[in-house]
Structure 1
Amino acid sequence: MDVREHDGGRGAVASPPNEQVVLLDPAGRAIGAQDKRTVHGADTPLHLGFSCYIFDDRGRLLVTRRALHKRTFGGVWTNSVCGHPAPGEPLRAAVMRRVRRELGLAIGLPRLVLADFSYYASMNSVAENELCPVLVAHALGSTLSPDPDEVADMEWAPWSRFATQVADGERTVSPWCRAQVDALGALGDSPERWPDAPPALLPAAVRW
C-alpha cells in the first residue's frame, strides 16, 4: 500500500515537555544535556542524534518529507526518521520510540550499519551538528499514522532507484541523507546484506 493511501488523521502529537538531547565533546563523550527546543541555532553545539532507514517486505525504503515549519530543513525530503536519544536512553530504544511517535509505525529491532557517521549542515542560519549513528529497520505491517508536526509527506521508494537518483543529483534530499546514501552504497547494493557495524565504534556517550 502506498503511504499516501493511509489514514493519517490521528492529529498532531506534541513533543514531550523538556525533551533533552545529549551534548558531546569532540571525542563523543557526554558533557551535559540541553532542551531540544533550544539546542538548534546559528552555533548549534555538537550533540547526539541518529538516522534510521526503514524498509518494507518488497525492499522499498520509506522516504519522508520534513514538515514545512521545522526550524531545520523544513520541507526537505530525507530518510525515514531522525531523532535524538534522551540522556541514558539506549540507542535502539530511542529509534523505536521515535518511529512509533513520528510515524505511528511498528518496526523490528534496528540494526546498526554506520556507527561513526557525523555531519554538520546549516540552512537559514540554523545548524545541525551531530554525531549520528545510522541504523536500518524492517517495517512490521503497512499501517502508518504520521505526526503532521514532523512529517509533511511520505513515499515508498525502491532502494536502488532512490540511491541512484540521489547520487546523480536527480533527487534533492537533506545533506545528511545525501552523505549517508553515499556511505551506505559503499556497503553494497542490497540493504538486507549490509553488514552490522561494530558497536565499539559508536560515540562513547551512546548506550547500546
Structure 2
Amino acid sequence: MAAIEVILVDRDDRATGKMEKLEVHEKGLLHRAVTVYVFNSAHQLMLQQRASGKYHCGGLWSNTTCGHPYPQESTRHAAERRLFEEMGMQLTLEPVFELSYNLPLSNGLTEHEYGHVYFTISDQQPQLNPEEADAWRYASLADIQAEIQQEPERFTPWFLHTFARIPDEFTRFMDKANTVHSVDA
C-alpha cells in the first residue's frame, strides 16, 4: 500500500509542504485535518468507536469521522470522502468552525492538527468499514457530556478537546439552518 501524504500547514492553515502521515504524527508536526459530526433529526450526535486495530486510539469513542485531506484536495471533499470511507455515508457537509490543537497520544504519537470541522443532519444509517470503525451509536450532547465527565478515557483526545465547543456550535448551526429555511419558505 502506498504511503499516505498529508498537508503540512502553518498556524494560519497555509500549506507549507507535505509528508507521510505516520511520520507527521511521530514528529508532532502541524498538519491539516477534517472532523465530521453527523446529527440525526432528534439532534443526537452519531459517535464512532474506532476500530481496535487502528494504529492509534483503537477502541475509543470519537466524533462521527475524521481524517486528512490529500495534497490538492479541498477540506470539504476530504471530509465527505472520509465519511464515506469510514461510515459508508454519502452526505453533503457544511463547514462550521476551525481549530488547532497539539495533543499527545498514548503511544508516543502526537495529534498536532489544524482542523476543519463539518456538521450535517441525517437519519441515514451508516454501513461501517470494519477497518475503520467497530461500532456506532447516537447520543444526546448532554449524555455525551456526562459520559466524558465519568469516563474520559473512553474517548479520543481530539474529541475531548473539541467537544467543549460542539453544543454552542450546534446551536448556531441550527439557528443558521432555520433562518435559511424560513427565508426560503
TM over 0.5, shorter chain? yes
From 60, 71, 76, the counterpart of 2:55: 71
For residues 104-157 of structure 1, the C-alpha deviation after alignment (integer angstroms, 9 at most, x for no partner) is 1122x2122222343423212122111112111223622x22111111211111
Check whether the contact 1:106–1:140 (CA below 8 A) recurs between aligned residues.
no
Partner of 1:57: 41
Structure 1 segments unaligned to the other structure (5+ residues) = 1-15, 197-208
Check whether the contact 1:72–1:128 (CA below 8 A) recurs between aligned residues.
no
Higher relative contact order (CA 8 A, sep 6+): 1
Q: Residues 192, 23 of structure 1: CA spacing in aligned structure 2 closer, same or farther, 3 A cutoff?
A: closer
Q: 1:89 is aligned with what amino acid?
A: E
Distance in 2 (alpha carbons) for counterparts of 1:52 and 1:22? 18
For residues 7-51 of structure 1, the C-alpha deviation after alignment (integer angstroms, 9 at most, x for no partner) is xxxxxxxxx73332101233422111122344322x221111111
Relative to its length, the structure with more helix (as a share) is: 2
Check whether the contact 1:187–1:195 (CA below 8 A) recurs between aligned residues.
no
Residues 12-91 of structure 1: pairs in structure 2 closer than 5 A: 17-41=2-26, 43-91=27-75
Q: Residues 126, 118 of structure 1: CA spacing in aligned structure 2 closer, same or farther, 3 A cutoff?
A: closer
Q: TM-score, normalised by structure 2?
A: 0.83
Q: TM-score, normalised by structure 1?
A: 0.74
Superposed displacement of residue 195, structure 1: 5.6
* Two-structure CA RMSD over aligned residues (Å): 2.3
Distance in 1 (alpha carbons) for counterparts of 2:175 and 2:102? 21
Aligned length: 176
Relative to its length, the structure with more strand (as a share) is: 2
Check whether the contact 1:118–1:133 (CA below 8 A) recurs between aligned residues.
no
Partner of 2:174: 193
For residues 138-193 of structure 1, the C-alpha deviation after alignment (integer angstroms, 9 at most, x for no partner) is 23622x22111111211111233223432x334531111112111223446x4752
Matched, 1:120 2:92: no
Q: Residues 45, 61 of structure 1: CA spacing in aligned structure 2 closer, same or farther, 3 A cutoff?
A: same
